[in-house]
A and B are shown apart, each in its own frame.
Chain A
Amino acid sequence: MRPQLPTLDLVPLYPLLVVTGWAVLVLLADLFVQHKRALGYLALTGVIVAAVVTVALWPGVPTSFQNMAISDGQALFFNLVFLVTGALGLLVAIEYLERKDLQRGEYYALLMFSLAGMIAMAAAEDLLIVFLGLEMMSVALYVLSGSNQRDMSSIEAAMKYFILGSFASAFFLYGIALTYAAAGSTNLAQIGSWLSGRGIPKDPVALTGLSLLLVGFGFKVALVPFHWWTPDVYQGAPTSVTAFMSVGAKAAGFATLTRVLYSAFSPTFTTDWVTVAAVLAAVTMTFGNLAALVQRDVKRLLGYSSIAHAGYVLVGIAAASPVGVRGMLFYILAYAFMTAGAFAVACAVERREQSTTTLADYAGLAQRSPLLAAAMLLFMLSLIGIPPLIGFWSKLFVFRAAVEANLAWLAVLGVLNSALSAYYYAGVVVQMYLREPGRSPAEEVAFRPWRSALAVAVFLAAAATVVLGLWPGAVVNLLMGV
Chain B
Amino acid sequence: MLIEFIPVLVLFALATAIAVIALVLPAFLGPRRPSRAKIETYESGKLPYGDARYKVPIGYYKIALLFVIFDLEVIFFYPWAVVLRQLHVFGLIEMGIFTALLVVGYVYEWKKGGFEME
Bind each other? yes
Query: A1-49: which have CB < 8 Å to B?
Result: 1-3, 5, 24, 27-28, 30-31
Contact A1 B86 (CB under 8 A): yes
B112 partner residues in chain A, CB cutoff 8 A: 31
B54 contacts chain A at the CB level, 8 A cutoff: no
Q: Which of B11-19, B34-42, B57-65, B101-109 contacts A (4 or more CB under 8 A)?
A: B101-109
Complex Cα distance A31/B109, Å?
A: 10
Complex Cα distance A157/B87, Å?
A: 46
Q: Number of B residues whose C-beta is below 8 Å from A? A: 10
Which residue from A1, A5, A27, A31 sits with its C-beta under 8 Å from B90? Answer: A5
A1 partner residues in chain B, CB cutoff 8 A: 86
* B83 CB to nearest chain A CB (Å): 6
Complex Cα distance A334/B117, Å?
A: 49
Which residue from B83, B86, B101, B111 sits with its C-beta under 8 Å from A31? Answer: B111
Question: Would you call the interface of chain A mostly helix, strand, loop, or mixed?
Answer: helix
A30 partner residues in chain B, CB cutoff 8 A: 108
* A311 CB to nearest chain B CB (Å): 39
Which A residue's beta carbon lies closest to that of B108?
A27
Contact B86 A24 (CB under 8 A): no
* B81 CB to nearest chain A CB (Å): 14
Binary interface encoding of chain B residues 40-71 relative to chain A, with 1 for a CB under 8 A from any of its CBs, else 0: 00000000000000000000000000000000
* B74 CB to nearest chain A CB (Å): 21
Contact B104 A24 (CB under 8 A): yes
Complex Cα distance A5/B83, Å?
A: 12
Contact B87 A28 (CB under 8 A): no
Contact A28 B108 (CB under 8 A): yes
Contact A2 B86 (CB under 8 A): yes
B104 partner residues in chain A, CB cutoff 8 A: 24, 27-28
Which A residue's beta carbon lies closest to that of B91?
A5
Which residue from A5, A24, A31 sits with its C-beta under 8 Å from B87? Answer: A5
B111 partner residues in chain A, CB cutoff 8 A: 31
B interface vs A, CB < 8 Å? Answer: 83, 86-87, 90, 101, 104, 107-108, 111-112
Instruction: Give me 11 A-to-B residue pairs in the complex whose CB atoms sit less than 8 angstroms apart, sorted by A's number.
Output: A1-B86, A2-B86, A3-B83, A5-B90, A24-B101, A24-B104, A27-B108, A28-B104, A28-B107, A31-B108, A31-B112
